[in-house]
Amino acid sequence: MIFDKLLIDGEWVDGVRTFPVTDKFTGQEVARVAEISREQLREAVARAADAFRRGPPSPYARYEILMRAADAVRARRAEFRDTIVAESGFTVTDAEGEVARAVQTLATSAEEAKRLAGEVVPLSGAPIQGTRIGFTLRVPLGVVCAITPFNSPLNTVAHKLGPALAAGNAVVLKPARATPLTAALLCEVLRGAGVPRGFLSLVHGPGSKMGDWLLEESAFRSYLFTGSTEVGKSLQRGAGLRRLQLELGSIASTIVCADADLDAALPKILGASFRKAGQVCTSIQLLHVEESIAEPFTARFVAEARKLRAGDPRLGETAVGPMISVAEAERVERWVAEAAAQGAAVAVGGPRDGAVLPPTVLTGVRPGMKVVDQEIFGPVVSIVPFARLDDAIDRVNASPFGLATGIFTRNLDRAFHAAQALEVGSVHVNETSSSRVDLMPYTGTKDSGSGVEGPKYAIRELTEERLVTFRI
């Protein structure tokens, strides 16, 4: 794979310069990646618009392309895995999980391409319309822009490209500057699978200037973005009346009730807390535990967290690899130290080694601390006891975010009450906030964004419904 190229109109071309991508554990340079110029971006968008005007492949052809791509990712899973480990620092287990999920995302997008349909409109049910029939068609938007984050360098890219291509759109992809290599591999796979010229472009550059460039391109009909709330709000201001799919920040909570099956819950909570070094928008940051079990639960959770090995992501026994950068690990370390200075207790955690921050569990936290009030995006969990379930729900709802919450309970009344009262996009009963199946709808409320991921649901947002009527 040639990483120091851009993909424009189906051809790999040189950029204006290259920038390095480093191994997040060793710090060594692993590749150089092409940076796009303003003129090249205009060309990429113009070629995409021209390709769309010529017409997208048929729905069945889109199905075939995406199924071939899914098969190719599966066949090259070791290459994808190793690339993810190098550029993101994720463990082998986390990287393999991401590859397996991306295969499913592409395959589901392929299947949904065949099912794209409108509906019959019962016009004859209106007065004096007995000789009319009506139906709707779902048609692609045109050219869409996809902007993806470092913390899911393959599957989130698949969640943008798969539905967009399945719907018949042309796509310009701008992946995270820290993790562009996996996206390049996926684009190579999609081109090899038969995506027509102009329907997929890959561009790289610093977000500080590319954000403005992308918003200036009037041909974009929609922006698909996963990233920070701050950047999402900027996109919203600049996009005007164009469509947006925004999957933004979160302070994710999971609630553990006294009647929960702790043997089943603990492994899930550990995984959701520390997978990908806690750098997932639904990673558990606040763990609300009913007071009557808070002490024994905390003892068990801390003991299990202490067993998790942090370090080299290529070693099979490593559960927590490095964070995306030393600077981010230092920030999280400062927040933990600040919380400790304000009265929190560090039950387990530290010391930091470069970008590697071991699993950290805090108790005695309170509002006003950054570890409670702001998205930490690191391997840090704060345990917060509650007396009544409504107290925990109120704390979750007090957050400006609302992406997902998990609740562990064997009481159906409590489960349904939480499902109705929590102001979040997803409530997972007897699963964690981080539970996700790639075919389900995935959305947030409040500052966690708008729009829906999940191939079936995203495809509807990436098409327009057109009414057709006949008088007979």
Active-site residues, by number, are 247, 281
CA distance 429 to 418: 9
CA distance 306 to 288: 20
Q: Which residues contact residue 330 at a Cβ distance below 8 angstroms, ignoring those fewer than 6 apart?
A: 352
CA distance 443 to 282: 11
Among candidate residues 150, 156, 185, 181, the one with its CA nearest the CA of residue 324: 150
| 383 φ/ψ angles, rounded to the nearest 5 degrees | -95, 125
CA distance 304 to 232: 36
Only one residue has tokens 């199946």, namely 437
Question: Within its chain, how far is the Cα of 155 from the centroid?
Answer: 8
How many CA atoms, within 13 angstroms, populate the side-chain half-sphere of residue 269? 33
Q: Which residues contact residue 282 at a Cβ distance below 8 angstroms, ignoring those fewer than 6 apart?
A: 250, 252, 272, 403, 404, 432, 433, 434, 435, 436
CA distance 62 to 48: 17
CA distance 152 to 154: 6
End-to-end Cα distance, the chain: 57
